[in-house]
């Protein structure tokens, strides 16, 4: 996770508003440093870092909102929308590897169960009738195997991958819209960081 | 999501240091108000509310870091981060289990065993997280962390929690 950039010149004995402006200016800038990087859906780390940058800004707008006369609610809604979208993308990016790891875990469990079953089978006496013995072996093997759990996990993986594509498309649409609507300039004007 | 408590006495022309004390102490009390419900475990929304409050608290501490001596600040922030992370691990599992549970209805019979198996694995992990939460709070209690933290905030901001009387939001 990208660490927040330090903010210079904070004076704790002065009023909240001028200090808040300094902090918010840096945090807004942090979001826009990812602008060129999030155009590629494969940049998982940058998308995650941008989500964290949005989250920091969102909390700061909530915390410092009291110090500003202008209603920051509409800006907060936009920031939250983008943060949520990036959060959903991140969930997909985390869940797919977890599900793949779960498949590997199932395989490991299965091989352990089958190995244990074979050892038990060697110790136990087998029926004289080879058909009965084979049927018993198959029954125990099926009980030890966890193959029936795999299709559902593959389905979940496919769902998450498909959702990720759709979410990323939504994110880029929203991000382009914010830039088109000069969101940064409007927010910085509302906060008194820049004059219109 | 639980609404944040109103920060009493916070005005637009507040001094940075004093605002730090008011906001951090309010968020601290807000977070701790969910402790009993979280430990009881009967309603997963109590843990959710506590986690959200802990994130608000952490964000407030980050925002007002300059009002405190850096070394001590890092120590207290580390403890708050530990609370957030511990609650977060449990919350993530709650959300995932609920999400998988909701999916079950629409899944084909072929897909169900896998999702049910995954849910039971997550439920086992969730039970472990419950013990982590209980031991974390027991340790905070033994260390007298709450009193230490409130005194430390008061020392550096001039805001005492007894004077602040943070109030939960009014019920509709």
Residues of A in Cβ contact (< 8 Å) with B62: 4, 56, 59
Residues in chain A, overall count: 196
Residue B167 in this model has a pLDDT that exceeds 70 = no
Write the residue in B15, B107, B110 that is nearest to A14 by C-beta: B15
pLDDT value at residue A118: 77
Residue B33 maps to a domain: yes
The whole-angstrom distance between B36's CA and the closest CA on chain A is 26
Residue B1 maps to a domain: no
Domain of A77? Answer: 16-190
Reported as a single tens digit per residue, the pLDDT across B22-61 is 999 999 999 999 999 999 988 999 999 999 999 999 999 9
Share of chain B above pLDDT 90, in %: 84
Write the residue in B4, B66, B117 that is nearest to A10 by C-beta: B66
The answer to whether the beta carbons of residues B161 and B150 sit under 8 Å apart is yes
What number of C-beta contacts closer than 8 Å exist between A and B? 97
Top-confidence residue, A124 or B127: B127
CB contact under 8 A, B15 and A149: no
Return the DSSP state at B65: G
Reported as a single tens digit per residue, the pLDDT across A24-41 is 999 999 999 999 888 899
SS3 B15: strand
Domain of B60? Answer: 16-164
Residue B172 in this model has a pLDDT that exceeds 70 = no
**How many domains does chain A fold into?**
1
The mean predicted confidence, pLDDT, of chain A is 91
Residue A1 maps to a domain: no
Residue B2 maps to a domain: no
pLDDT value at residue A127: 75
Q: Write out residues in chain A with pLDDT < 50, as ranges.
A: none
The mean predicted confidence, pLDDT, of chain B is 92
Grade residue B169 by pLDDT with cuts at 50, 70 and 90.
low
Residue B163 in this model has a pLDDT that exceeds 90 = no
Query: A146: nearest CA in chain B?
Result: B114
Residue A101 maps to a domain: yes
Residue A33 maps to a domain: yes
The whole-angstrom distance between B33's CA and the closest CA on chain A is 20
Grade residue B168 by pLDDT with cuts at 50, 70 and 90.
low
Write the residue in B10, B20, B115 that is nearest to A152 by C-beta: B115
Residue B5 maps to a domain: no
The whole-angstrom distance between A105's CA and the closest CA on chain B is 11
CB contact under 8 A, B12 and A66: yes
Among chain B, residues having any CB pair with chain A shorter than 8 Å are 4, 7, 10-17, 19-20, 23, 55-56, 59-60, 62-63, 66-67, 96, 103, 107, 110-118, 121
Residue A8 maps to a domain: no
**How many domains does chain B fold into?**
1
Residue B171 in this model has a pLDDT that exceeds 60 = no
Residue B29 maps to a domain: yes
Helices (H) and strands (E) in chain A, counts: 6, 0
Residue B112 in this model has a pLDDT that exceeds 90 = yes
The answer to whether the beta carbons of residues B129 and A165 sit under 8 Å apart is no
- Among A183, A80, A103, residue whose Cα is nearest residue A150: A103
Write the residue in A64, A151, A153 that is nearest to B118 by C-beta: A153
- Among A91, A50, A62, A67, residue whose Cα is nearest residue A15: A67
pLDDT value at residue B166: 57
Write the residue in B20, B103, B117 that is nearest to A149 by C-beta: B117
**What CATH number does the domain containing B141 carry?**
1.40.20.10
Residues of A in Cβ contact (< 8 Å) with B103: 156
């Amino acid at each position: 996770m990208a660490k927040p950039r330090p903010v210079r010149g904070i004076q704790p004995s002065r009023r909240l508003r001028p200090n808040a402006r300094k902090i918010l200016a840096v945090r807004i800038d942090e979001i826009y440093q990812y602008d060129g990087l999030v155009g590629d859906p494969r940049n998982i780390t940058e998308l995650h870092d941008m989500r964290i940058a949005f989250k920091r800004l969102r909390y700061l707008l909530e915390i410092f909102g009291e110090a500003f006369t202008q209603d920051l609610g509409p800006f907060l809604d936009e920031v939250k929308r983008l943060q949520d979208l990036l959060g959903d993308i991140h969930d997909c990016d985390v869940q797919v590897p977890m599900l793949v790891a779960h498949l590997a875990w199932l395989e490991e469990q299965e091989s352990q169960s089958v190995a244990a079953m074979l050892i038990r089978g060697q110790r136990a006496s087998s029926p004289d009738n080879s058909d009965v013995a084979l049927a018993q072996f198959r029954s125990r093997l099926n009980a030890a195997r966890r193959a029936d759990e795999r299709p559902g996990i593959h389905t979940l993986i496919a769902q998450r991958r498909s959702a990720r594509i759709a979410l990323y498309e939504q994110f880029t649409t929203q991000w382009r819209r914010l830039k088109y609507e000069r969101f940064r300039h409007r927010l910085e004007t509302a906060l008194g960081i820049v004059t219109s | 999501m639980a609404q944040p408590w109103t920060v009493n006495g916070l005005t637009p022309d507040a001094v940075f240091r004093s605002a730090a004390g008011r906001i951090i102490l309010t968020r601290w009390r807000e977070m701790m108000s969910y402790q009993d419900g979280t430990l009881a475990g009967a309603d997963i929304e109590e843990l959710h509310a506590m986690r959200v409050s802990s994130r608000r608290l952490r964000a407030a501490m980050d925002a007002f870091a300059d009002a405190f001596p850096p070394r001590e600040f890092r120590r207290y922030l580390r403890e708050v981060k530990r609370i957030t992370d511990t609650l977060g691990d449990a919350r993530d599992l709650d959300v995932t289990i609920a999400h998988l549970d909701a999916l079950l209805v629409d899944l084909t019979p072929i897909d169900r065993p896998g999702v049910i198996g995954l849910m039971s694995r997550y439920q086992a992990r969730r039970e472990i997280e419950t013990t982590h939460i209980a031991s974390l709070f027991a340790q905070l209690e033994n260390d007298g962390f709450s009193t230490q933290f409130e005194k430390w905030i008061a020392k550096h901001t001039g805001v005492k929690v007894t004077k602040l009387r943070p109030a939960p939001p009014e019920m509709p």
